Amino acid sequence: MNTEKLKQIFVECLGIEESQITDELTYNAIPEWDSVAHMALVAEIDDQFDIMLDTEDVLELSSFAKAKEILAKYDIKF
């Protein structure tokens, strides 16, 4: 359920198709995931999961797989 929720956040913030989202989807690898989109992504993750990501985590959130790994630290299960 949380994987689907996270996918929808990526779809909305990056403006891409759900089919494009795989664990290998990486920051800056597609033009849609630039630094501005990244901050929008972080804001939406904060909002949707009711957390406040640490800045170190914001910097390390470099792929869809990494996003799940980071969110797990905030007790969000995938």
Partner 1 sequence: MLLKDKTVLITGASKGIGKATSLLFAKEGAHLILNGRDEEALLKLQSEIEYMYGTKPIVMTYDVGDLTQIKKAFQLIKKECNSIDVLINNAGILNDALLGMVGERQMSETFSINLSAIIYHMQYASRLMTRQKSGSIINVSSIIGRFGNVGQTVYGASKAGVIGATMSAAKELAPYNIRVNAVAPGFIKTDMVKQLPEEKYEERMASIKMMRIGEPEEVANVLLFLASDMSSYVTGQVIGVDGGMII
Instruction: Name 34's Cβ contacts closer than 8 Å, sequence gap at least 6.
Output: 28
Stretch that binds partner 1, among 7-15, 22-30, 42-50, 64-72 (CB under 8 A): 42-50
Q: Pull the structure tokens for residue 21.
A: 């989202």
Q: CB of 58: closest distance to partner 1 in angstroms?
A: 9
For residue 55, state whether it binds partner 1 (rule: CB under 8 A).
Answer: yes
* Minimum separation from the CB atom of position 27 to partner 1 (A): 18
- Tokens describing residue 69: 């790994």
How remote is the C-alpha of 50 from its chain's centroid?
A: 14
Residues that bind partner 1 (CB under 8 A): 39-40, 42-43, 46-47, 52, 54-55
